[in-house]
Protein backbone atom coordinates (compact mmCIF):
# COMPACT_ATOMS: atom_id res chain seq x y z
CA UNK A 1 0.00 0.00 0.00
CA UNK A 2 1.16 3.53 -0.70
CA UNK A 3 1.00 4.77 2.86
CA UNK A 4 2.47 1.66 4.44
CA UNK A 5 5.19 0.91 1.95
CA UNK A 6 5.95 3.95 -0.23
CA UNK A 7 9.53 2.84 -0.82
CA UNK A 8 8.40 -0.58 -2.00
CA UNK A 9 5.84 0.84 -4.42
CA UNK A 10 8.22 3.36 -5.99
CA UNK A 11 11.08 0.85 -6.24
CA UNK A 12 8.90 -1.84 -7.82
CA UNK A 13 7.36 0.62 -10.29
CA UNK A 14 10.69 1.99 -11.50
CA UNK A 15 12.35 -1.42 -11.44
CA UNK A 16 9.61 -2.90 -13.61
CA UNK A 17 9.90 -0.14 -16.21
CA UNK A 18 13.70 -0.53 -16.27
CA UNK A 19 13.45 -4.28 -16.87
CA UNK A 20 10.90 -3.79 -19.64
CA UNK A 21 13.09 -1.16 -21.26
CA UNK A 22 16.15 -3.42 -21.03
CA UNK A 23 14.27 -6.24 -22.75
CA UNK A 24 13.17 -3.95 -25.58
CA UNK A 25 16.66 -2.53 -26.06
CA UNK A 26 18.14 -6.02 -26.15
CA UNK A 27 16.05 -6.90 -29.22
CA UNK A 28 18.05 -7.11 -32.47
CA UNK A 29 15.95 -4.37 -34.07
CA UNK A 30 16.92 -1.90 -31.35
CA UNK A 31 20.55 -1.78 -32.48
CA UNK A 32 21.62 0.05 -35.63
CA UNK A 33 23.52 -2.97 -36.93
CA UNK A 34 20.54 -5.27 -36.20
CA UNK A 35 22.74 -7.68 -34.26
CA UNK A 36 21.38 -6.75 -30.87
CA UNK A 37 23.05 -5.39 -27.73
CA UNK A 38 24.32 -7.21 -24.68
CA UNK A 39 21.97 -7.49 -21.73
CA UNK A 40 24.26 -5.41 -19.51
CA UNK A 41 24.47 -2.63 -22.10
CA UNK A 42 20.69 -2.66 -22.49
CA UNK A 43 20.15 -2.68 -18.71
CA UNK A 44 22.63 0.16 -18.18
CA UNK A 45 20.98 2.29 -20.90
CA UNK A 46 17.46 1.54 -19.65
CA UNK A 47 18.41 2.41 -16.07
CA UNK A 48 20.09 5.62 -17.20
CA UNK A 49 17.00 6.58 -19.24
CA UNK A 50 14.33 5.75 -16.64
CA UNK A 51 16.38 7.35 -13.87
CA UNK A 52 16.93 10.31 -16.26
CA UNK A 53 20.68 10.23 -15.78
CA UNK A 54 22.33 10.30 -19.20
CA UNK A 55 25.40 8.15 -18.56
CA UNK A 56 25.96 5.83 -21.53
CA UNK A 57 28.31 3.00 -22.39
CA UNK A 58 27.43 3.23 -26.11
CA UNK A 59 26.74 6.31 -28.21
CA UNK A 60 23.01 7.00 -28.41
CA UNK A 61 23.00 8.49 -31.90
CA UNK A 62 25.07 5.78 -33.59
CA UNK A 63 24.54 2.54 -31.65
CA UNK A 64 20.74 2.49 -31.51
CA UNK A 65 18.34 2.23 -34.43
CA UNK A 66 15.32 4.50 -34.82
CA UNK A 67 13.35 1.96 -32.78
CA UNK A 68 16.04 1.90 -30.10
CA UNK A 69 16.14 5.69 -29.90
CA UNK A 70 12.35 5.69 -29.62
CA UNK A 71 12.53 3.26 -26.71
CA UNK A 72 15.14 5.44 -24.98
CA UNK A 73 12.98 8.54 -25.51
CA UNK A 74 9.89 6.76 -24.15
CA UNK A 75 11.81 5.57 -21.09
CA UNK A 76 13.03 9.12 -20.44
CA UNK A 77 9.48 10.47 -20.67
CA UNK A 78 7.97 7.75 -18.49
CA UNK A 79 10.78 8.07 -15.96
CA UNK A 80 10.54 11.84 -15.74
CA UNK A 81 6.74 11.87 -15.56
CA UNK A 82 6.74 9.08 -12.99
CA UNK A 83 9.32 10.81 -10.84
CA UNK A 84 7.42 14.10 -10.74
CA UNK A 85 4.06 12.38 -10.19
CA UNK A 86 5.10 9.92 -7.49
CA UNK A 87 7.22 12.47 -5.67
CA UNK A 88 4.36 15.00 -5.71
CA UNK A 89 1.85 12.42 -4.51
CA UNK A 90 4.16 11.33 -1.70
CA UNK A 91 4.69 14.99 -0.76
CA UNK A 92 0.92 15.42 -0.51
CA UNK A 93 0.68 12.24 1.51
CA UNK A 94 3.24 13.17 4.16
CA UNK A 95 2.18 16.82 4.35
CA UNK A 96 -1.29 15.94 5.59
CA UNK A 97 -3.02 18.23 3.08
CA UNK A 98 -5.52 15.66 1.84
CA UNK A 99 -9.08 16.49 0.88
CA UNK A 100 -10.79 13.18 0.06
CA UNK A 101 -10.25 10.04 2.15
CA UNK A 102 -10.45 7.60 -0.74
CA UNK A 103 -7.98 4.84 -1.42
CA UNK A 104 -6.02 4.71 -4.67
CA UNK A 105 -6.19 0.93 -4.62
CA UNK A 106 -9.14 -1.34 -3.98
CA UNK A 107 -8.80 -1.59 -0.21
CA UNK A 108 -9.60 1.43 1.97
CA UNK A 109 -6.88 2.69 4.26
CA UNK A 110 -6.40 5.73 6.48
CA UNK A 111 -4.16 8.59 5.36
CA UNK A 112 -4.61 7.65 1.75
CA UNK A 113 -4.55 10.20 -1.03
CA UNK A 114 -7.82 11.68 -2.20
CA UNK A 115 -8.80 11.18 -5.83
CA UNK A 116 -9.10 14.93 -6.21
CA UNK A 117 -5.47 15.33 -5.17
CA UNK A 118 -4.35 12.58 -7.51
CA UNK A 119 -6.23 14.03 -10.46
CA UNK A 120 -4.82 17.50 -9.82
CA UNK A 121 -1.25 16.19 -9.63
CA UNK A 122 -1.56 14.02 -12.74
CA UNK A 123 -3.13 16.76 -14.86
CA UNK A 124 -0.71 19.37 -13.52
CA UNK A 125 2.40 17.29 -14.23
CA UNK A 126 1.14 16.24 -17.66
CA UNK A 127 0.16 19.79 -18.64
CA UNK A 128 3.42 21.30 -17.41
CA UNK A 129 5.50 18.63 -19.13
CA UNK A 130 3.69 18.98 -22.45
CA UNK A 131 3.79 22.78 -22.45
CA UNK A 132 7.51 23.08 -21.71
CA UNK A 133 8.60 20.26 -24.00
CA UNK A 134 6.49 21.50 -26.90
CA UNK A 135 7.75 25.07 -26.54
CA UNK A 136 11.42 24.07 -26.36
CA UNK A 137 11.06 21.52 -29.18
CA UNK A 138 9.55 24.21 -31.42
CA UNK A 139 12.40 26.64 -30.76
CA UNK A 140 15.07 23.98 -31.33
CA UNK A 141 13.42 22.65 -34.49
CA UNK A 142 13.14 26.14 -36.00
CA UNK A 143 16.76 26.90 -35.16
CA UNK A 144 18.02 23.65 -36.68
CA UNK A 145 15.87 24.12 -39.78
CA UNK A 146 16.75 27.72 -40.59
CA UNK A 147 20.07 28.14 -38.76
CA UNK A 148 21.73 24.89 -39.84
CA UNK A 149 19.71 24.04 -42.98
CA UNK A 150 18.63 20.66 -41.62
CA UNK A 151 15.71 18.81 -43.16
CA UNK A 152 12.25 19.35 -41.70
CA UNK A 153 11.94 15.79 -40.41
CA UNK A 154 15.43 15.78 -38.91
CA UNK A 155 14.89 19.18 -37.29
CA UNK A 156 11.57 18.19 -35.72
CA UNK A 157 12.87 14.83 -34.50
CA UNK A 158 16.06 16.30 -33.04
CA UNK A 159 14.12 19.17 -31.45
CA UNK A 160 11.61 16.84 -29.79
CA UNK A 161 14.26 14.37 -28.60
CA UNK A 162 16.48 17.01 -27.01
CA UNK A 163 13.51 18.93 -25.55
CA UNK A 164 12.18 15.80 -23.82
CA UNK A 165 15.68 14.88 -22.67
CA UNK A 166 16.28 18.41 -21.36
CA UNK A 167 13.04 18.93 -19.41
CA UNK A 168 13.40 15.51 -17.82
CA UNK A 169 17.03 16.34 -16.94
CA UNK A 170 18.14 13.19 -18.77
CA UNK A 171 21.03 14.57 -20.82
CA UNK A 172 20.74 12.03 -23.65
CA UNK A 173 21.86 13.54 -26.95
CA UNK A 174 21.85 12.30 -30.55
CA UNK A 175 25.38 13.57 -31.18
CA UNK A 176 28.59 11.84 -30.16
CA UNK A 177 29.92 15.08 -28.67
CA UNK A 178 26.58 15.92 -26.99
CA UNK A 179 25.95 19.63 -27.75
CA UNK A 180 29.57 20.65 -28.35
CA UNK A 181 28.72 21.40 -31.97
CA UNK A 182 26.50 24.26 -30.75
CA UNK A 183 28.96 25.58 -28.16
CA UNK A 184 28.65 29.17 -29.39
CA UNK A 185 24.94 29.13 -30.26
CA UNK A 186 22.71 30.69 -27.58
CA UNK A 187 19.57 29.77 -29.58
CA UNK A 188 20.34 26.10 -28.88
CA UNK A 189 21.99 26.21 -25.47
CA UNK A 190 19.65 28.67 -23.74
CA UNK A 191 16.37 26.84 -24.58
CA UNK A 192 17.94 23.57 -23.44
CA UNK A 193 19.18 25.20 -20.22
CA UNK A 194 15.74 26.74 -19.61
CA UNK A 195 14.05 23.35 -19.94
CA UNK A 196 16.60 21.77 -17.59
CA UNK A 197 16.12 24.49 -14.96
CA UNK A 198 12.31 24.33 -15.11
CA UNK A 199 12.29 20.54 -14.86
CA UNK A 200 14.75 20.70 -11.99
CA UNK A 201 12.65 23.10 -9.90
CA UNK A 202 9.98 20.48 -9.28
CA UNK A 203 6.27 20.37 -9.99
CA UNK A 204 5.13 21.80 -6.61
CA UNK A 205 7.20 24.94 -7.22
CA UNK A 206 6.07 25.33 -10.83
CA UNK A 207 2.42 24.86 -9.83
CA UNK A 208 2.71 27.38 -7.01
CA UNK A 209 4.34 29.93 -9.29
CA UNK A 210 1.52 29.58 -11.81
CA UNK A 211 -1.18 29.83 -9.15
CA UNK A 212 0.33 32.82 -7.40
CA UNK A 213 0.80 34.56 -10.72
CA UNK A 214 -2.97 34.51 -11.17
CA UNK A 215 -3.57 35.42 -7.53
CA UNK A 216 -1.18 38.36 -7.75
CA UNK A 217 -3.08 39.69 -10.75
CA UNK A 218 -6.25 39.74 -8.67
CA UNK A 219 -4.92 40.80 -5.25
CA UNK A 220 -1.46 42.27 -5.91
CA UNK A 221 0.01 40.01 -3.22
CA UNK A 222 2.81 37.48 -3.43
CA UNK A 223 2.68 34.79 -0.76
CA UNK A 224 4.97 31.92 -1.65
CA UNK A 225 5.51 28.93 0.63
CA UNK A 226 8.82 28.44 2.41
CA UNK A 227 9.56 25.45 0.16
CA UNK A 228 9.20 27.57 -2.98
CA UNK A 229 11.28 30.40 -1.54
CA UNK A 230 14.10 28.09 -0.47
CA UNK A 231 14.07 26.25 -3.80
CA UNK A 232 14.16 29.42 -5.91
CA UNK A 233 16.74 31.29 -3.85
CA UNK A 234 19.07 28.34 -3.37
CA UNK A 235 18.79 27.31 -7.03
CA UNK A 236 19.58 30.85 -8.18
CA UNK A 237 22.54 31.08 -5.79
CA UNK A 238 23.99 27.74 -6.91
CA UNK A 239 23.43 28.53 -10.58
CA UNK A 240 25.19 31.88 -10.19
CA UNK A 241 28.06 30.41 -8.18
CA UNK A 242 28.57 27.62 -10.70
CA UNK A 243 28.57 30.08 -13.60
CA UNK A 244 31.07 32.45 -11.97
CA UNK A 245 33.43 29.69 -10.83
CA UNK A 246 33.41 27.87 -14.17
CA UNK A 247 33.89 31.17 -16.00
CA UNK A 248 36.82 32.13 -13.77
CA UNK A 249 38.54 28.77 -13.39
CA UNK A 250 38.40 27.86 -17.08
CA UNK A 251 38.92 31.39 -18.50
CA UNK A 252 42.33 30.76 -20.04
CA UNK A 253 42.24 26.97 -20.26
CA UNK A 254 42.80 26.11 -23.92
CA UNK A 255 40.99 22.78 -23.65
CA UNK A 256 37.70 24.37 -22.57
CA UNK A 257 36.87 28.11 -22.55
CA UNK A 258 40.23 29.50 -23.70
CA UNK A 259 39.50 29.73 -27.45
CA UNK A 260 36.16 31.56 -26.98
CA UNK A 261 35.35 35.24 -26.58
CA UNK A 262 34.11 36.74 -23.30
CA UNK A 263 30.42 36.47 -24.22
CA UNK A 264 30.77 32.88 -25.33
CA UNK A 265 32.72 32.04 -22.18
CA UNK A 266 29.89 33.43 -20.06
CA UNK A 267 27.38 31.40 -22.07
CA UNK A 268 29.48 28.27 -21.62
CA UNK A 269 29.90 28.89 -17.89
CA UNK A 270 26.16 29.34 -17.44
CA UNK A 271 25.34 26.26 -19.52
CA UNK A 272 27.81 24.06 -17.64
CA UNK A 273 26.47 25.30 -14.30
CA UNK A 274 22.88 24.58 -15.37
CA UNK A 275 23.78 21.11 -16.64
CA UNK A 276 25.49 20.28 -13.37
CA UNK A 277 22.07 20.56 -11.72
CA UNK A 278 21.39 17.54 -13.06
CA UNK A 279 21.35 17.12 -16.84
CA UNK A 280 24.23 15.51 -18.63
CA UNK A 281 24.46 17.69 -21.73
CA UNK A 282 27.84 19.28 -22.31
CA UNK A 283 28.99 21.92 -24.78
CA UNK A 284 32.65 21.79 -23.69
CA UNK A 285 34.84 18.76 -23.11
CA UNK A 286 34.09 17.69 -19.54
CA UNK A 287 37.16 15.47 -19.49
CA UNK A 288 39.36 18.50 -20.18
CA UNK A 289 38.10 20.49 -17.18
CA UNK A 290 40.66 21.38 -14.55
CA UNK A 291 40.61 19.56 -11.21
CA UNK A 292 39.22 22.62 -9.41
CA UNK A 293 36.30 22.85 -11.86
CA UNK A 294 35.64 19.13 -11.57
CA UNK A 295 35.37 19.53 -7.80
CA UNK A 296 32.96 22.47 -8.15
CA UNK A 297 30.89 20.39 -10.57
CA UNK A 298 30.86 17.45 -8.14
CA UNK A 299 29.46 19.70 -5.40
CA UNK A 300 26.72 21.00 -7.71
CA UNK A 301 25.86 17.48 -8.90
CA UNK A 302 25.67 16.15 -5.35
CA UNK A 303 23.28 18.92 -4.27
CA UNK A 304 21.12 18.53 -7.38
CA UNK A 305 17.82 20.32 -8.00
CA UNK A 306 14.38 20.78 -6.47
CA UNK A 307 12.23 18.18 -4.75
CA UNK A 308 9.46 16.38 -6.70
CA UNK A 309 11.18 17.29 -9.96
CA UNK A 310 13.25 15.51 -12.56
CA UNK A 311 16.58 16.52 -10.98
CA UNK A 312 18.54 14.22 -8.67
CA UNK A 313 20.98 14.78 -5.84
CA UNK A 314 20.15 15.36 -2.20
CA UNK A 315 18.01 18.34 -3.37
CA UNK A 316 18.47 22.07 -2.87
CA UNK A 317 15.97 22.23 0.00
CA UNK A 318 18.02 19.65 1.91
CA UNK A 319 21.12 21.76 1.36
CA UNK A 320 19.28 24.95 2.33
CA UNK A 321 17.82 23.45 5.50
CA UNK A 322 21.25 22.23 6.59
CA UNK A 323 22.66 25.69 5.91
CA UNK A 324 19.92 27.29 8.01
CA UNK A 325 20.60 24.84 10.85
CA UNK A 326 24.34 25.59 10.78
CA UNK A 327 23.69 29.33 10.81
CA UNK A 328 21.31 28.99 13.76
CA UNK A 329 23.87 26.93 15.70
CA UNK A 330 26.65 29.44 15.00
CA UNK A 331 24.42 32.27 16.23
CA UNK A 332 23.41 30.31 19.33
CA UNK A 333 19.72 30.42 18.44
CA UNK A 334 17.42 27.78 19.98
CA UNK A 335 15.66 26.95 16.69
CA UNK A 336 16.47 27.06 12.98
CA UNK A 337 14.45 29.80 11.30
CA UNK A 338 14.21 30.97 7.71
CA UNK A 339 12.15 33.77 6.16
CA UNK A 340 9.88 34.18 9.16
CA UNK A 341 9.28 30.46 9.63
CA UNK A 342 10.68 27.92 12.09
CA UNK A 343 12.05 24.69 10.62
CA UNK A 344 10.58 21.62 12.32
CA UNK A 345 13.16 19.43 14.13
CA UNK A 346 11.94 16.39 12.16
CA UNK A 347 12.77 18.17 8.89
CA UNK A 348 16.28 18.92 10.17
CA UNK A 349 16.79 15.25 11.06
CA UNK A 350 15.51 14.14 7.65
CA UNK A 351 17.83 16.55 5.83
CA UNK A 352 20.82 15.38 7.86
CA UNK A 353 19.93 11.73 7.21
CA UNK A 354 19.61 12.20 3.44
CA UNK A 355 22.88 14.14 3.20
CA UNK A 356 24.96 11.76 5.31
CA UNK A 357 23.59 8.64 3.64
CA UNK A 358 24.34 10.23 0.27
CA UNK A 359 27.92 10.95 1.31
CA UNK A 360 28.32 7.41 2.61
CA UNK A 361 26.97 5.93 -0.62
CA UNK A 362 29.30 8.05 -2.78
CA UNK A 363 32.34 7.13 -0.69
CA UNK A 364 31.51 3.41 -0.77
CA UNK A 365 30.92 3.37 -4.53
CA UNK A 366 34.08 5.38 -5.22
CA UNK A 367 36.24 2.98 -3.21
CA UNK A 368 34.61 0.02 -4.97
CA UNK A 369 35.24 1.39 -8.47
CA UNK A 370 38.82 2.37 -7.62
CA UNK A 371 39.55 -1.29 -6.87
CA UNK A 372 38.12 -2.35 -10.24
CA UNK A 373 39.69 0.03 -12.76
CA UNK A 374 42.82 1.97 -13.53
CA UNK A 375 41.62 5.57 -13.41
CA UNK A 376 42.46 8.64 -11.34
CA UNK A 377 40.58 9.32 -8.14
CA UNK A 378 39.05 12.56 -9.39
CA UNK A 379 37.63 10.92 -12.53
CA UNK A 380 36.16 7.99 -10.61
CA UNK A 381 34.68 10.31 -7.97
CA UNK A 382 33.20 12.47 -10.72
CA UNK A 383 31.60 9.41 -12.36
CA UNK A 384 30.16 8.20 -9.06
CA UNK A 385 28.70 11.57 -8.08
CA UNK A 386 27.27 11.95 -11.59
CA UNK A 387 25.53 8.58 -11.27
CA UNK A 388 24.25 9.25 -7.73
CA UNK A 389 23.01 12.70 -8.70
CA UNK A 390 21.48 11.27 -11.91
CA UNK A 391 23.40 13.92 -13.85
CA UNK A 392 25.05 12.10 -16.74
CA UNK A 393 28.13 14.27 -17.13
CA UNK A 394 31.27 12.19 -17.59
CA UNK A 395 34.99 12.69 -18.05
CA UNK A 396 34.89 9.96 -20.67
CA UNK A 397 35.52 6.82 -18.62
CA UNK A 398 31.99 5.36 -18.62
CA UNK A 399 32.62 3.05 -21.56
CA UNK A 400 35.83 1.82 -19.91
CA UNK A 401 34.14 0.77 -16.67
CA UNK A 402 34.23 -3.06 -16.37
CA UNK A 403 31.05 -5.09 -16.16
CA UNK A 404 31.05 -5.27 -12.36
CA UNK A 405 31.63 -1.53 -12.21
CA UNK A 406 28.69 -0.94 -14.55
CA UNK A 407 26.51 -2.89 -12.13
CA UNK A 408 27.70 -0.57 -9.35
CA UNK A 409 26.77 2.47 -11.45
CA UNK A 410 23.36 0.92 -12.27
CA UNK A 411 22.61 0.45 -8.58
CA UNK A 412 23.91 3.93 -7.85
CA UNK A 413 21.65 5.53 -10.48
CA UNK A 414 18.65 3.58 -9.19
CA UNK A 415 19.28 4.43 -5.55
CA UNK A 416 20.17 8.02 -6.37
CA UNK A 417 16.93 8.42 -8.28
CA UNK A 418 14.40 6.88 -5.91
CA UNK A 419 16.40 6.97 -2.68
CA UNK A 420 15.80 10.52 -1.43
CA UNK A 421 12.11 10.38 -2.41
CA UNK A 422 11.34 7.12 -0.68
CA UNK A 423 13.62 7.72 2.30
CA UNK A 424 12.05 11.04 3.29
CA UNK A 425 8.49 9.80 2.75
CA UNK A 426 9.21 6.66 4.77
CA UNK A 427 10.76 8.67 7.60
CA UNK A 428 7.82 11.07 7.64
CA UNK A 429 5.23 8.29 7.64
CA UNK A 430 7.01 6.45 10.47
CA UNK A 431 7.08 9.54 12.67
CA UNK A 432 5.22 9.07 15.92
CA UNK A 433 4.68 11.03 19.10
CA UNK A 434 6.30 9.74 22.32
CA UNK A 435 4.50 10.49 25.58
CA UNK A 436 7.69 10.63 27.60
CA UNK A 437 11.26 11.91 27.27
CA UNK A 438 14.46 10.31 28.44
CA UNK A 439 16.91 12.22 30.68
CA UNK A 440 19.07 14.61 28.67
CA UNK A 441 22.85 14.25 28.42
CA UNK A 442 25.36 16.10 26.23
CA UNK A 443 28.22 14.13 24.63
CA UNK A 444 31.37 16.15 23.83
CA UNK A 445 31.25 17.44 20.26
CA UNK A 446 34.33 18.62 18.38
- Which structural domain, as residue segments, surrounds residue 126? 6-428
Question: Which residues are bridge partners to 341 per DSSP?
Answer: 338
Q: What is the pLDDT of residue 126?
A: 84
Task: Give residue-wise pLDDT tens across range 182-233.
Answer: 999 999 999 999 999 999 998 888 888 887 766 666 655 567 889 999 999 9
Q: Cα(134)–Cα(138) distance, rounded to whole angstroms? A: 6
Q: What is the pLDDT of residue 3?
A: 45
226 CB burial (10 A radius; 0-12, 13-18, 19+): middle
* 413 in any annotated domain: yes
* 443 in any annotated domain: no
* 54 in any annotated domain: yes
Rounded (5°) CA angle 289-293-298:
110
Q: What is the pLDDT of residue 208?
A: 85
Spans in the chain with pLDDT lower than 70: 1-8, 86-119, 213-222, 420-434
* 77 in any annotated domain: yes
**Helix, strand, or coil (residue 262):** helix
Q: What is the crossing angle of helices 262-275 and 186-201, to 10°?
A: 30
Rg (CA), the chain: 22
* 155 in any annotated domain: yes
* 168 in any annotated domain: yes
Domain count, the chain: 1
Long-range contacts of 240-248 (CB under 8 A, 24+ apart): 240/273, 241/273, 242/269, 242/272, 242/273, 242/274, 242/276, 242/277, 242/296, 242/297, 242/300, 243/269, 243/270, 243/272, 243/273, 244/269, 245/293, 245/296, 246/272, 246/273, 246/293, 246/296, 246/297
Q: Is the pTM of this model over 0.75?
A: yes
* 51 in any annotated domain: yes
Strands (DSSP E) along 230-367, which ranges? Answer: 337-338, 341-342
* 298 in any annotated domain: yes
Amino acid sequence: MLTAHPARLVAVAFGSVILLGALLLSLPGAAADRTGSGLLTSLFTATSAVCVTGLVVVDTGTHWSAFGEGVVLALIQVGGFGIMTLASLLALLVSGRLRLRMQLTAQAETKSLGMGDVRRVLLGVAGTTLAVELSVATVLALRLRFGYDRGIGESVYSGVFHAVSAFNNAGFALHTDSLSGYADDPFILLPVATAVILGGLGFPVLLELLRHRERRRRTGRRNWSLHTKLTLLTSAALLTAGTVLTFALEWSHRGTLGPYGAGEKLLQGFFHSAMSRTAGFNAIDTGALQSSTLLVTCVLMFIGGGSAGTAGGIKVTTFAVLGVAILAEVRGEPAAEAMGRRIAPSVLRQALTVALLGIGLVITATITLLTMMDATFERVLFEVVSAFGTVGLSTGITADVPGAGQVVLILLMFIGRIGPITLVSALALRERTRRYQLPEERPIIG
